[in-house]
Structure 1
Amino acid sequence: MIRTKFKRILGWSNRRIEEIRKGNSGDWAWLTVKPMPLAVLNRKLWKVAEPALTYYVLLALSVVIATLGLLANSAATIIGAMIVAPLMGPILGMAFSVVMSNRRLLRRSTLSLITGTLMSIAIGAVICRLVGIQTLTPEIIARTSPNLLDLGVALAAGSAGAFAFSRRDIADALPGVAIAVALVPPLSVVGIGIALNLQSVTFGSLLLFLTNLTGIVFSGGLVLLLQRYGSIDRAKKDCWLQ
């Protein structure tokens, strides 16, 4: 009797599974999220890598928020600064330009990144001087000793950023990527280290920023290559020379 009842239950389950399968069959191609066309992604990255007034204003405000958050030891304030920061644009522009051997975009992205980096460090140093705080908070100290975990985060964030940038429907993931990789706070700490004349703080936080930068460019370029943007042959070319 138990065996008969079990067979009935099994038969009913199989029929329900088959009904569900048939009910959900059909053409679901509209749900497939495909990579952006090359021309569209190129225009998008050209726009976000532009050293325009909007880029510098947002970056400056982000650095102000991050520096004050670091000096006040406020993690929530620092997270807010990461969301505002527009640095992911030029860095992913660098990754894309390398795999595509696009020299003009590489120069444009590099210019935005270098000028933005120098401006961020200067703002961090000025704010530290104006506030006059001489002690290092735990939030500052946490960004002076990079390790392999930081590199792992940068690699994952670069992959996520490149993947999100190449898809129209998942751009909402980009703020999360910015929070994860935390590009602006290390630059603020560099400025704080310069203002307080603490070389260990300056070089430690600068190393963290460079670690993040390298990880994002490498993994972002790899993800773009896997999506058939560019090629290994193009990536091997010297993009820095005209």
Structure 2
Amino acid sequence: MFHLRVIVPNGRTDAVLEALRRQVGAAHVVLLRGVAMDGAGDVVEAAVAREAADAVVAELCRLDVDHVGGITLEAVDTVLSDAVDRAEHAAPGDGADAVVWEELLAKTGEEAKPSVTFQAFLTLACVLASVGVVTNSPVTIVGAMIVGPEFGPLAALAVGLVRRRGDLLRRAGLALALGFPVAMLVTAGVTVLAEFVGLFDRTAVLSAHQVEFVYQVGPYSLIVALLAGAAGMLAMTSAKSAALVGVFVSVTTVPAAGYAVVAAVLGEWDRCLGSVVQLVVNMIGIVLAAAGVLLLRRRRVGDDRPLVSG
């Protein structure tokens, strides 16, 4: 269930109210006249079933409210109301299966920004992965997988491909194209320093067997990436955020970047190349599977409407 708040300029309020009345998934419509401080206008609020939210937002956008006013959707976990129960029952489909495209665009767009925070998390994850490599510790590598923020831009690439959003593709591509090289460069500096002060033994690193999966590319590398990408996009579109932790643990992206750096510092170029290939295979597999899930879900609900808001 969503709480919907719409800021409407004078003269368009009746059209907004009529649009909400036509939606079987809307309940508790409230009108507050003349309360908008940013320009003369009214505020309309309503409870909207998740499975009807995309249709409601699309209708409001057709009324140009997203440009002349404002639309806010806020997820609500608990609502005690018979009217809301009837609205959810009347709305077509199931809330768990509904894709709210504007919500997904906002979420992936925010996570795809090449921000300082994103870079910091990615760098820390790569350094942590390098520690897992030199200490032959799969547990540390799993920790690096969880810390890594790279699934956000990868999901944004999938959404951008499906929705043909060039701005989202550019933003996510920039985050990855800048993020990984910078993180790997910092990790290389840390690894060189650790080798100089004798924190790890070259022979011990090269003989480590528990972390060989990082640079050994095979059919299962792509299979796991495809499964993880599909699960990750399902989790994002169904608001099952807890499932994303399993996605983070299953994909070998950050560990591959960390291993590539350690192998390069040690002059093991075969292992370095294998790690880079592993990284690329995983990222491509995630994006393709995530885009495939979005295409299947859009076809299932018959959603062929283009988004009109930017």
TM-score bucket (shorter structure): 0.7 to 0.9
Output the CA distance in 2 between the equivalents of 1:120 and 1:139.
Answer: 24
Amino acid paired to 1:185: P
Q: Contact conserved, 2:122 with 2:180, CA < 8 A, in 1?
A: no
Matched, 1:209 2:272: no
Shift of 1:209: 0.6
Q: In the alignment, what sits opposite 1:197?
A: 267
User: Where does residue 296 of structure 2 map in the other structure?
Assistant: 226
Q: Which residue of 2 aligns with 1:13?
A: none
Shift of 1:61: 1.3
Match of 2:156 in 1: 93
SS of the counterpart of 1:182?
A: coil
Q: Which runs of 5+ in 1 are unaligned?
A: 1-25, 235-242
1:123 is displaced (CA, Å) by 2.7
Percent identity over the alignment is: 31
Structure 2 stretches lacking a partner, 5+ long: 1-84
Check if 1:146 corresponds to 2:209. no
Matched, 1:156 2:219: no
Asked if structure 2 preserves the Cα contact closer than 8 Å seen for 1:126 and 1:195, the reply is no
Tell me the amino acid that sits aligned with residue 192 of structure 1: V
| SS of match in other structure, 1:227 | helix
Contact kept? 1:117, 1:187, Cα under 8 Å: yes
Q: How does 1:169-180 map to 2 (within 5 A)?
A: 170-180=240-250
Q: Confirm whether residue 131 of structure 1 aligns to residue 131 of structure 2.
A: no
Q: Which residue of 1 aligns with 2:68?
A: none
Matched, 1:40 2:103: yes
Which position in structure 2 is the counterpart of 1:184?
254
Counterpart contact for 2:214–2:252, Cα < 8 Å: no
Q: Which amino acid aligns with 1:60?
A: T
How many Å apart are 1:92 and its aligned residue?
0.9
The CA distance in 2 between the partners of 1:60 and 1:104, in whole Å, is: 25
The letter for the 2-side match of 1:199 is W
User: In structure 2, what residue type is equivalent to 1:33?
Assistant: A
Q: TM-score, normalised by structure 2?
A: 0.62
CA distance in 2, matches of 1:172, 1:118: 29
CA distance in 2, matches of 1:61, 1:156: 26
Does 1:120 find its partner at 2:183?
yes
Query: What amino acid does structure 2 have at the position aligned with 1:113?
Result: L
Deviation at 1:140, TM superposition (A): 4.3
CA–CA distance in 1 between the matches of 2:96 and 2:294?
15
- Output the aligned Cα RMSD: 2.4
Which one-letter code corresponds to 2:260 in the other structure?
A: V
Tell me, what secondary structure is at the counterpart of 1:61? helix
Q: Which has the higher contact order (CA 8 A, sep 6+)?
A: 1
Return the TM-score normalized by structure 1.
0.79
Q: For this pair of structures, how many residues does the alignment match?
A: 207
1:108 and 2:179 aligned: no
Deviating runs (4+, > 3 A) in structure 1? 26-32, 229-232
Determine if contact 1:81/1:184 at 8 Å carries over to the other structure. Answer: yes
